[in-house]
Structure 1
């Protein structure tokens, strides 16, 4: 494989690993927000921001951890036949089916960027009582989907290398 392809795979996987490991700590943020919400409901006035902040935190955790989950193979896969195949056959099938994933993620990213541009141009806010700006979470969503696309391309390069008898 060309050095540039190997370097691309290594950089993407290192980036997704680090971002995924940092995203794991968002569960602690989520727990803190929900704990504060419970305490505030019991002793004070319920905060307007807690539910929506918990939703935003969960979205960030899910989307930023998506590429890391793909990298670890923790994604759901129909394993009726796949697990019995040789690594070479798995790579051949994966090198074809990865295009469906890239197409889907590309469509999600296209819609996400369109929605992000709208949010930035209009100063879009949530319709809740708290009314936070929507652009920051849309930026996180676009970033996470972009990282999943890069990880999918890295998978494609790995599969092609495996088909050529090389290993990255």
Structure 2
């Protein structure tokens, strides 16, 4: 179980390492759009839309690894002062809440992504790209978040045994 939890964490870390570079692509697209609009007086229809489509994977695929590394925004007034069994109980509660959040997100997003794929949904803009790949990232990220929450519970097991 520990090996599977470590492998999943490594996968989420690799996805995080890849997707974090999307911020540069997004910034480059927006810089190109501003330059094109104001210097060339020829705005694009595709650059802002592509930047928006890339932001979803950038934002979502980093979440599972951030759960492991503690990178999410948190109000840790209680957990910062807790130690021993209380700290462990708070970590377990946090992992269970992340698991529940991921399950709810997966429950609602998977049918929408499948429907988007089935219909070949496009954005209906002047550029009109297919958008199901961007929508498919949400259930994938929700599943990875759930699996990472389970991995966190497995990785906490040695802490439970030590107490």
Q: TM-score, normalised by structure 2?
A: 0.91
CA distance in structure 1 between the partners assigned to 2:162 and 2:2 by the alignment: 14
CA distance in structure 2 between the partners assigned to 1:50 and 1:149 by the alignment: 33
1:7 corresponds to: 3
- Residue 47 of structure 2 is aligned to residue 84 of structure 1: no
Contact 1:95 1:160 survives alignment (8 Å): no
Query: Among residues 12, 19, 26, which one is paired with 2:15 in the alignment?
Result: 19
Query: Among residues 28, 45, 48, which one is paired with 1:48 in the alignment?
Result: 45
CA distance in structure 2 between the partners assigned to 1:67 and 1:87 by the alignment: 25
1:69 corresponds to: 66
- Residue 145 of structure 2 is aligned to residue 145 of structure 1: no
CA distance in structure 1 between the partners assigned to 2:70 and 2:3 by the alignment: 21
CA distance in structure 1 between the partners assigned to 2:99 and 2:36 by the alignment: 44
Residues 62-120 of structure 1: per-residue CA shift (max 9 Å, x gap): 10111122222111222111111115422222223422221121111121110011111
2:29 corresponds to: 33
- Residue 57 of structure 2 is aligned to residue 60 of structure 1: yes
CA distance in structure 1 between the partners assigned to 2:94 and 2:157 by the alignment: 13
Q: Which runs of 4+ in 1 moved over 6 A?
A: none
Contact 2:121 2:132 survives alignment (8 Å): yes
> How many residue pairs align between the two structures?
162
Structure 1: which 5+ residue stretches go unaligned? none
2:108 corresponds to: 111
Which shows bigger deviation, 93-102 or 103-112?
A: 93-102
Q: TM-score, normalised by structure 1?
A: 0.88
Question: How large is the Cα RMSD of the aligned pairs?
Answer: 1.7
CA distance in structure 1 between the partners assigned to 2:44 and 2:138 by the alignment: 25
